[in-house]
Each structure stands twice: as C-alpha cells, then as structure tokens.
C-alpha cells in the first residue's frame, strides 16, 4: 500500500487565474506562493481526473488531500467542500484533511468538516493564521482532534534546509510545546519538521510525526537515513507535495513518480523501512488495519 500523505487540490477557478481568485477572497499570501510576481512559479495544477491518472502512473494507492492554511474562515469552508467533492469521485483513493482557521468558530468548522467526510486537519500555519499554543481556539482544536483521533498537519519552515521565497517562519518551539501539552494528539510536521526530524540531540515527543514533502526543493542531500537514525522509521510519512514541481529544472509538469522512484532507488531503505514510510505508518496513524 502506497499512500501519498501530502498533496493539494484546487479547482479550475484557482488554476485559471490564481492571483485574481486570491484577490477576490483576500488570500494574498497563497497568491504570493503559487503565482509570484518576481519569479517563475513552480506550482502545478491538476484536476481530479489528472490527479487519479498520476496516482495510477506512480503506483500510488491513496492520496491525502490537504487543506491550505487560509487566512479566512469562509475560504476554509469553501476548500473543504472542494475536497469533499473530489472524495465523492473516488472515495477509495482520496482521504481528505480539512482547512481550518483556529478562531472562535473552530469546533463548528470541525463538525462541518466531519459531516463532509474529512478525517484530519491541515496544513495549519500559526504565523499566517495568527494562533499559538496559548490561544483558546488552538486548545479547542487540539482537544476536539484528540477526542476524535484526527491527525493535524502543520506547515514548517526549514531550520537546516533552504528557505523558499515568501516563506513565513513557523514556531518550531511552540510546536514542541503543543505536542507536550496534548500527548494524545497526533501531530504531523510537514517538510521534515523544518529540520527537527534530523536532530539527534532533540528529545522529541512521541506524538510527533514528520512528512518528507518538498524534500528535493528544501534539502541538497537525501535526509532519509539521517531522519531514520534521529526519530525512527515509524515516525516518517511519505508525501510528495503534488502538484508542486519539486524538480523544477527537469519537470515541465508535476508528477508523483519521480520523487517516489528517487526514494526507492537512492534512500537506502530496508524493505521494512520502505513499507512503513510509504504507507504503513499512514495506516497506523489513521487507525486502519
């Protein structure tokens, strides 16, 4: 079972004119990332049929469709309906995580997302969305997700790798405090946790998991063995960040297979490590047999 645990989906209205769409919803930070004015974009786009064909080509059985860290609650709720519509097309292939803005309506957002068939939260970004471990909205979110067994995926910026333009820093120490204060909450730190997953001197909480999304963009060398030695193969999750072009020098269009093949051929994983990282850890995280 191969599960791509970090992907994104956007409808045609976003892909056709991302900056105009973002301006209409006052989501300028998203626009600066996917359609920058000062450099060539590495964002790719894929509708549900293209997405499924790419999964088939790469041998990916299921993909987690992540919500974005939108700055407005209305955009979060809109995106969750988009994700639910994709799941309805292929419920055995897509797993939906909810876009959530931690505010006074956070529990209502979560209940609506659950009614839509979504099964987790993320990505979240405290720096963009304006919350931290001391906020009542975050605590309500953490308690709800702990109770319902929902993992939360957090965007992280890099401590050891290369920062990307327009990045807003993420509070890595606050993430650690969140994990310590909510030990039953399953927290996924995207992009190798900004390098936390590579630090052997850190006594990291056991409820922290790390995905490898966008790794070729952020790290000049393969970090898999270093991360396995630091945190163990059972806490690492495969994610491609599709449809981002993570090999922009050679990719005209985004694909899942290139990064997956690089992992298989160059990461030096044992069969058991490969089975865990590429799917087994996700099944365990989602409480599936």
- Looking at the structure, give the CATH architecture of the domain made up of residues 3-285: Alpha-Beta Barrel (3.20)
What would the two tokens of residue 204 be? Answer: 């990291």
* pLDDT tens track for 45-96: 999 999 999 999 999 999 999 999 999 999 999 999 999 999 999 999 999 9
Residue 19 has what pLDDT? Answer: 97
Residue 164 has what pLDDT? Answer: 61
Residue 3 has what pLDDT? Answer: 98
Residue 165 has what pLDDT? Answer: 60
Residue 161 has what pLDDT? Answer: 44
Point out the residues of the chain with pLDDT beneath 50: 161
Pairing of strands 120-124, 94-98: parallel
Residue 168 has what pLDDT? Answer: 87
Cross-sheet strand order for the sheet of 62-66: 3-8, 62-66, 94-98, 120-124, 152-154, 187-189, 208-211, 236-237
What would the two tokens of residue 160 be? Answer: 């050891």
Residue 276 has what pLDDT? Answer: 98
* pLDDT tens track for 256-274: 999 999 999 999 999 999 9
Length of the chain: 289
């Amino acid at each position: 079972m191969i599960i791509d645990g970090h992907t994104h989906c956007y409808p045609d209205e976003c892909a056709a004119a991302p900056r105009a769409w973002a301006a209409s919803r006052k989501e300028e930070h998203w626009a600066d990332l996917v359609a920058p004015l000062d450099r060539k974009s590495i964002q790719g786009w894929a509708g549900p049929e293209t997405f499924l064909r790419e999964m088939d080509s790469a041998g990916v059985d299921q993909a987690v469709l992540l919500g974005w860290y939108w700055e407005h609650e209305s955009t979060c709720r809109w995106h969750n309906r988009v994700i639910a519509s994709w799941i309805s097309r292929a419920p055995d292939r897509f797993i939906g995580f909810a876009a959530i803005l931690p505010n006074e309506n956070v529990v209502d957002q979560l209940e609506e997302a659950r009614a839509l068939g979504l099964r987790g939260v993320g990505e979240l970004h405290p720096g963009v969305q304006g919350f931290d471990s001391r906020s009542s909205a975050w605590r309500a979110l953490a308690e709800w997700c702990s109770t319902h067994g929902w993992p939360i995926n957090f965007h992280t910026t890099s401590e050891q790798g290369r920062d990307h333009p327009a990045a807003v820093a993420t509070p890595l120490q606050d993430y650690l405090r969140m994990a310590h204060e909510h030990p039953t909450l399953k927290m996924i730190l995207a992009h190798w946790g900004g390098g936390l997953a590579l630090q052997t001197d850190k006594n990291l909480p056991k409820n922290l998991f790390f995905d490898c999304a966008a790794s070729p963009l952020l790290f000049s060398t393969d970090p898999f063995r270093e991360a396995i030695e630091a945190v163990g193969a059972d806490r690492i999750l495969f994610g491609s960040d599709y449809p981002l072009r993570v090999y922009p020098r050679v990719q005209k269009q985004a694909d899942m297979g290139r990064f997956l093949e690089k992992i298989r051929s160059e990461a030096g994983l044992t069969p058991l490590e490969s089975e865990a990282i590429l799917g087994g850890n996700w099944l365990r995280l989602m409480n599936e047999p």
